[in-house]
Amino acid sequence: MKVIAYLERTRLWNQAVSDALRAWSWFVRHPWHRLWDESAGCGVMECCPNPPELRWVLDVVVAVLPPNDARKLRKQIEALDEQW
């Protein structure tokens, strides 16, 4: 949690990790997720998330977490990625 808090405070935004994980989970489960178009939508994460941005946040978090924690998060993300 310390690593995530530091990352959010210095490089991202408050609750960035939980926001990105929640938005990615919603996005891949949404039946219209394959229709994502960068030029369409409002860009608000809760409404029209940007998949590359969400994945970037999640990849950064995995890169800075201790190995055991990174492995656990990576498994969660991989399960979601299978739906993409």
Distances in Å between the Cα of 53 and the Cα atoms of 16, 48, 66 are: 11, 12, 22
Q: What is the pLDDT of residue 67?
A: 92
Q: What is the pLDDT of residue 61?
A: 92
Give the separation between CA 49 and CA 62, rounded to whole angstroms: 20
Q: What is the per-residue pLDDT across 29-48, written as a single tens digit (0 to 9) for each?
A: 877 666 666 676 666 766 67
Taking a C-beta distance cutoff of 8 angstroms, is the pair 57, 12 a contact? yes
Q: What is the pLDDT of residue 58?
A: 93
Q: Tell me the three-class secondary structure of 3-63, residue by residue.
A: HHHHHHHHCCCCCHHHHHHHHHHHHHHCCCHHHCCCCCCCCCCCCCCCHHHHHHHHHHHHH
Task: Give the residues of the chain that fall short of pLDDT 70.
Answer: 32-38, 40-43, 45-47
pTM of this structure: 0.77
Report domain extents, the chain. Answer: 2-34+43-81
Q: What is the pLDDT of residue 35?
A: 61
Q: What is the pLDDT of residue 59?
A: 93
